[in-house]
Each structure stands twice: as C-alpha cells, then as structure tokens.
Structure 1
C-alpha cells in the first residue's frame, strides 16, 4: 500500500472511532429554520483551568481505549478535569449498578432512551453562564435541537454532523459509455441514470445504485413527520410519504438493480460492481478499495424534484449532562472543549464534519486524508444542508423501522405503496400503544 493511502487510512480509522454508533458525517451549511439568537459572549472566552482536579464519569458508546486516552490527556491538560470513561457499557446495567454519570455521549438513535433514563437536562443556564456563543453552530443545528423537547430547551449538544453523499465508480461509467453523475441531481434523474448502468456483462451483474435505507429515513429530506406528538399516532399514510416511498423503492425496481444481495459496501468497495453508493461516510472504506483499483469521485446527495433547495433533517451524535450530576459545570467545560475551534478543526482534518460553521474549521476538512485530493467529496459533504426540523417524538424510531421494511416490500413487489403505508401505519400504531402501556 502506498504511503499516502496508509496515512489516510490511519486518520480515517481514528476518526471513525470518534463517532457514536449510528452517526457518521453531516452538513454544516444550510438555511436556518428559525431564530438562533445566542447569549452575548465572546466565543474565545474559555473557563479557567481548575486549581484542583475534578473527576467526571463519562459514558460513551463508541470509543476505543487508546483514543479515549488521548482525549483524557487533552481535557486534563486543558481544565484539570479527569475523565473517567465507561466505554461500550450497557447503559441500563450501568445505571442499575449505582454509577452516577456526569456526561454522556450517544448516537441520535439513543436520544429518547437517554431522556427516558433521565440522563439529559437543559443546558441553557450553563450556556449563559459561560457565554457559549451558539451562533457558532452550523445553521439549523440549534433549531433542530430545540425540537427534541416540548419545552424547546437545549438538552443535548451535537458534537459533529451526519451527512449523505453519493460516491461513484468511474470505471463502470466508462465501461458502458455513460456520463458521470453530476452535483444537483434529483432522485428522479438519478433513477434514469441507474437504468443506464444496471447491466449484466460477462456474467457480472453491475448494479446502478444502492443506499442505506434507514439513514435516508432518518435524514428525511421532505421534512415529513413520523408521529403526531399530540395523539401519538403514526403520520405516514399521506400522499407526501407515498411520493417518498415510491421514489426510494423505485430505485430497486430497475432491472438488474434489485434488492437481492444489494449490500452496498460489499458491492462498491470490495467487488466494485456497484456504480453508485449513497448513505453515510465511506471514508474508512475508501483507502483499501482505492489500493485495489477503485477509481471514484462523489456528488451531492440527490433531492426531490421541486424541492431542490430543501435540506435534510439533522442526524447527529450528541453530548448531554444528567440533571443529578454534581459536576454539571465541569461537564459543560468538556462540552465546550469538544466544540472548540481547536477540537472541531482536529476532527475535521480526519474527515469528521464539524458542527461549527467557522470558515477556518470547515477549511480543514479532510486535509489529513490525501486520497480526497482532487475529488469533489468535500463539496458534496457540505452541500447536504440542514432543513426545517420536524417535531421529534420518542416513537419516531418505531415508525422508521416499519418504513425500512416497507421499502423492501415495495421494491420486491410484495406490496404496493398504498398497502405498504397502511401496514406501516397499523403496525406502528399498535407498537406505540403497546409501548405506552408499559
């Protein structure tokens, strides 16, 4: 393996371990959905280093021990705060054992579990106390966070963003004499392109496109709600959701682009028989694939026709402070450090998409990943902007799981769109009712 690829792979491997399960990269640009007026303050102001060390219990689902050691050293040097990490532990068992947590880091999928376990609390007082400038966050981040609770408070703090891009195999397009995909395509246009490169040649099935379905449901580019927060009833049996499902499932109804064994990462990176791959960050998988001959580039995540300027929903891992922590101030200092220009830039260099809009931070994206040089990847990453947020409910996950199954049913001809969404609605409502009785 050449030296540049080795370096790139090392940095990517470390960056991937930074992410909680289920969160990858995301967007920093976009149109804010509302007011994001921060408390007055200088973002350069940092809390003073503590005279005496303070230990805080930190739950994190996703770190390696060696990487956590690096973070511990930096936090200790910065604030004289000692991180006592709980890595990849079962959160229920941890709480049952009597451990008092001061800080947690969770994937977006764990949001309501954390809330149910009373591991989150409004940080507005700490934001004001330490004059943390919320206007430094990427447009749409604060508005999205406020939609996580009925009180519109700030109970979690994203520390990186999740985005989708489409990467493509140049060799396949050249093989069939088909022009490369372009930025700004709609899903409808992509479907037509999929038809041109989904073929069987010399006994090899070349598929046009595959994606991570659940990730696209999370991102929900049409801004469609999953559950009515007042009635706790599913909201998916609508014309808008029919359009969404028809479009997403339709990509797998193209001849030779069926769902059978459509494992996007296996096909794209290892077998290299997939023309386009959509979904979350591919950075950890690219270096070895490039070394084995992959010629690739990236385009922006497609959007729906007539909604080309509408961004995706935010799907980001977050930090939170339990309300009964005796060290809320110290925990918030750690959050401030994770969201500092210094740390955000460091993560950006390794391919993590920063939660800040600061130009000097954004410009650092991917600079430690030489295999991104000369590609459109960075531009495509930051094009997946955050749209107007929907009201989030604790039962959204139930509906998302049902929608994921519906994509398969429609794509394989097991069900039509109307029937599939009625089934989603019925099954989701039953599951929600059962969960509410517990």
Structure 2
C-alpha cells in the first residue's frame, strides 16, 4: 500500500501514516515524571553511566529533525550520556545492502507491526534478536503492557522488540452528509449489520454528486481484520482465502455496505487509482463519503471538516471486539555492540512518564494503566471529538501473524473488489481467483 507520524501532537501522529498506522506523539523533554515503579519499566529514570553513541534506523520516511523531535530530544534530557545517531533511509540502497556493506551500524530499529515482516525489513534480513533475556536482565515488567501489543510481535517467532506506541482502526464520519440526508450519526457499539443499513441510506445522488455511505482502507482493514485471519499461512507460505471466515469477513464488512445501487458510478471513476474503492481523498477532499474506517491518527487533513469518530463496528457474535492492535516497536538489533545501553533507551519509552505524555498528546499507550488511558487526547485539538471512546470502547482482536507476503493478499483482494461489487463475479470465485494469483506470486518469489 502507499505508506502513509505524528510529533508533539503533530510530528509523531504523522508517524502512523508513515508506518501505515503507528500512532502517538512525542512528549516534551521537560515533562514532569508521573509516578512509576523503580524497576526501570515504569520509571523514566534509566541509567547509562558512560558516554555511548547509539545508531537508530526508523523504517518510515522521516527526517532527522522529526526523529529528534519524536525521540532524540527526550533521550538527550533523560540519558545525557547517550548520543543518538540517526541513520537516514536511502531510496537507492536497500537496508540489506546497507548492512552487508559493513559501513552502516544500527543499534535500535524502529518499525510498526504492519511493516516488520515485509520483504527487506528487520526480520527478513536477520537483524532480529529475541529480547527475552535482556528483558529479564533489565527487570522489565511485561505485565504492564496491553497483552496484544506483545502478542503481535511474539506470533512472529519471538519477543524481538518492545512496543512504544499503538494504533487501531476506528470509524470516521462526515456529519454534514448525515445531516443532509437526515440520518442519525454512528454510535459506539454498532454492528456491521447496523453499518450496512446506514450505508444504504447514505448511498444516493443529490445535486449532481453521487454520495456513498461507507468505504475503508482495504490494506489496513485486511492487515488488522477483527476476525484475526492471517493473510498468509506462515508455515505453508500460501494464502487460504476459500474459508467460511474469509467469506464472512468480505461479505459482512465490504460487500453488504458497498454493493448498493449508486456505488457503481464511483467505482468506475476510480479504476485508474491504485486503491479502487473510495479512499482518503474521497472522504477528506471530494467529501462524497459518509463513513470511512481508517487508522486512528491526528487527522490534520480533516481539520476543516465537520466530522467525528466512533468505535469500529463489530460482528454480532463478537461484541466489543474491534480491530487488531497496530503497535510500533523499538528493536535491539542482533549486531548491536551496545545492547544493554539500547535497552536503557527502550525503558525510557515504555516508562509511565513517556507513555503519560504520549497519551495526553493523542498517542495510544501500549500500557494497561487506566489512569494513563484516561489522559488520552487531553492536550490535543481533538479533545472535543469522541476519540477516547472510539479508541478504547472495543477490546483489541487477537493478533494474527504477519509475513513478508501480506501485501500480496492485500493486492489480490483489492484487485477483485470492483468486479465483486459490480456483480461481475461472485464471492467464491473472487476469493479463489485472488488466492490463485497470490500463491503464484509467492511461488515465484521463493524460487
């Protein structure tokens, strides 16, 4: 997918877009410490006794200035003996080539769960290291974490990193369209059936504009789907889309709300676009989309819209189970010569101090602490929106493993969505066709 970070309420909530969903904002370096334990996992009082240079690689398209705003300034205040060296991405040189050249050092790798398994990332090139022993050595209490933020990385084969921020799917809506057609606004706790009924009422033509009731970011939705379906069987390295659960997911969350008279015109107009169905521009610029499920973020692009947000709808048989979590992590690389110092840095970003300010400035904490959650969004322009309920109303769905081939599934289903919605194919055929194409790509990629 086209990758879409946010900082002090601006730059780091940008980050969710860059990493396709990492969320949060960077605390100011002079933030007063909140109460925490003395174990180094709750307190920000990490210690590095001797000067050391640590090299950081961020797998998002951020600048060194953004890196310093998000992380470097906080480290400088709390760990003055650590000099943070930013390793910029080079669009002409892959990460594997950078490492194999022997000229690039990386101690801490920063990435989201949606990217970490993809081709050319940390796990793919073997820079990962299980942190279990380091976690024990540094007395990090894993019970403080929202469990799914750890499970999301553990299902990849080990505790390769610790989460520092989180994100999830929520439902945005344009209040003006609801008002125009006299339809009540979405509520937290809706089912997918409720959304489909609402979408049908809102998919209509008015004043020369074709409005549609609902759309989504297919890539994000499949990656974080609430049924916790793996895009690829990590053992067999094949897609297995011809199952009842996959049919249920596509039928209930895509076909029912979108296969509505009037949607056809919009679909036909989008066939030259990579996303195929209405997406961010249609919701925020053209503004002919009433509801849009998307990653939680700062939504600066929607600031002049009359909008709000609700919790992601749920399946009737899985009430209050939303999308999977979408954490971002700090990883200590297997090649780092300063693993203990790197762990001290990570302890800063999982501390109550950092996570409290992250929460206040609109980032989703990775901790279970209810007091920190209650501070969510209190220091952002979004504090008058329904963001706290939208983010925390549902529990996170169990984590599904991510693989280097996940984008093949996203591309395959996206390629079938238009003929499916136009009635040119049926669901069984669409999933079978997508599966055959995906498996051919995987086979060619692994030969």
Distance 1:197 1:245, change over 3 A: same
**Secondary structure at 2:259's aligned position in 1?**
coil
2:163 and 2:211 map into 1 onto residues whose CA distance is: 38
Distance 1:159 1:405, change over 3 A: farther
Distance 1:158 1:414, change over 3 A: farther
Find the counterpart in structure 1 of residue 379 from structure 2: 368
Q: 45-54 or 271-280, which moves further after superposition?
A: 45-54
Q: 157-166 or 17-26, which moves further after superposition?
A: 17-26
The alignment covers a number of residue pairs equal to: 408
Distance 1:45 1:350, change over 3 A: closer
1:159 is the counterpart of 2:157: no
1:308 is the counterpart of 2:319: yes
1:418 is the counterpart of 2:418: no
1:339 and 1:42 map into 2 onto residues whose CA distance is: 9
Q: Contact conserved, 1:22 with 1:108, CA < 8 A, in 2?
A: no
Of the three residues 267, 271, 287, the one matched with 1:272 is 287
The within-5 A match list for 1:1-400 is 11-19=8-16, 20-25=18-23, 43-44=41-42, 48-62=46-60, 63-70=62-69, 71-79=71-79, 80-89=81-90, 90-98=94-102, 99-112=104-117, 113-149=121-157, 153-247=158-252, 248-258=254-264, 259=267, 260-261=269-270, 262-285=277-300, 288-289=303-304, 294-373=305-384, 375-400=385-410
1:430 is the counterpart of 2:428: no
**Secondary structure at 2:313's aligned position in 1?**
coil
1:358 and 1:339 map into 2 onto residues whose CA distance is: 12
1:164-215 Cα distance to aligned partner (Å, 9 max, x none): 1112222221221212222111112211111111111111222211211111
1:224 and 1:400 map into 2 onto residues whose CA distance is: 13
- Compute the RMSD of aligned alpha carbons: 2.5
Q: Contact conserved, 1:160 with 1:317, CA < 8 A, in 2?
A: yes
Q: TM-score, normalised by structure 1?
A: 0.86
1:273-295 Cα distance to aligned partner (Å, 9 max, x none): 32112111252335532xxxx32
2:73 and 2:188 map into 1 onto residues whose CA distance is: 42
Distance 1:101 1:11, change over 3 A: closer
Q: TM-score, normalised by structure 2?
A: 0.84
Distance 1:160 1:210, change over 3 A: same
